[in-house]
Amino acid sequence: MKDLKLKIELLPKGAWGNDFSRTLSKKDWDVLRKKCYERANHKCQICGFTTDDLDAHEVWNFDINTKTQTLIDIVALCSKCHGVKHIRNSQRLGYGENAKRHFMNVNNCNELEFASHLTKAQLDFEERNQIYRWKMVANLDKFGGEDIEIKQRNIPFIENSYQNIDWNFLSYKEMKNLFEIKRKNNNLISVPKINYIEVDNYQGTITISSLYTNKIEWYLDGFKIKTKFNIIGEFYTTLKVENLVGKDLNFILIGDNGQTVSKTFVLLPQEVL
């Protein structure tokens, strides 16, 4: 296929949230992006469109063997070119066809060439998803960011005690094998009930949906670290384990008629991945 001016870049799941627009302070990111716009003379560096409403896009190289993402460039892009770079987000927002047309116009190519390039990008995405944690490597001096410190994220790996469970067909009897259920006055009604538990080990989150729950308490190595309250109806809550220091993590759901206590989730240092 011909060399393309505008390419699709699908960030692997383990790199979501690693971009400098999120990991740096607003002040430091503003320094980088404004330097980027100056270098581009306020024009999109791909299609040449002149605008004061540019985006600063980070170009990364991913090395699976070393588990590193290395910053190659920070480029100024118009919203259309940026939408192609992150085409999955464009598709999610209903602008997928617009992004496809812009890709073909800028690259002077047809739909078959677009489909071929998108397939290759998706294959790269799936291959890179083998890595849960990427180490960020960048020389920010090259981009006007002298003395800006790179912040590596610290996200422990979660050993999931509830992996491969079909929550749609879980009976109360089976629930008792998975949780310690403490009832008040032997009342079976309205004891906190788990709808599902989801563990995302790319971003380090545990998400829980439950019924008959007034609040959730999280414990790390026996110490309470977080409490969240529910007002009414389904209780949907997420815990982020980023920067947590400890090993044994569990939760207690508390309702009017009892408690539901989870098994232990084990947190492993990300260095073991």
Question: Tell me, what's the pLDDT at 175?
Answer: 86
Task: Calculate mean pLDDT across residues 98-126.
Answer: 97
Rounded CA separation 196/116 (Å): 38
Flag whether the pTM goes above 0.85: yes
Q: Using CA atoms, how far apart are residues 16 and 204, in angstroms rounded to an integer?
A: 11
Whether 272 has a pLDDT exceeding 70, the answer reads no
In order of 29, 60, 82, 163, the CA distances from 71 in angstroms are 14, 5, 17, 35
Query: In the predicted model, is pLDDT for residue 74 greater than 60?
Result: yes
| pLDDT, mean of residues 34-58 | 95
User: Residue 199 — very low, low, confident or very high, per pLDDT cuts 50/70/90?
Assistant: very high
Average of pLDDT values for 213-233? 96
Tell me if the domain spanning 157-272 has CATH number 1.25.40: no
- Average pLDDT score over residue span 45-69: 95
Q: Is 125 exposed, middle or buried (0-12, 13-18, 19+ CB in 10 A)?
A: middle
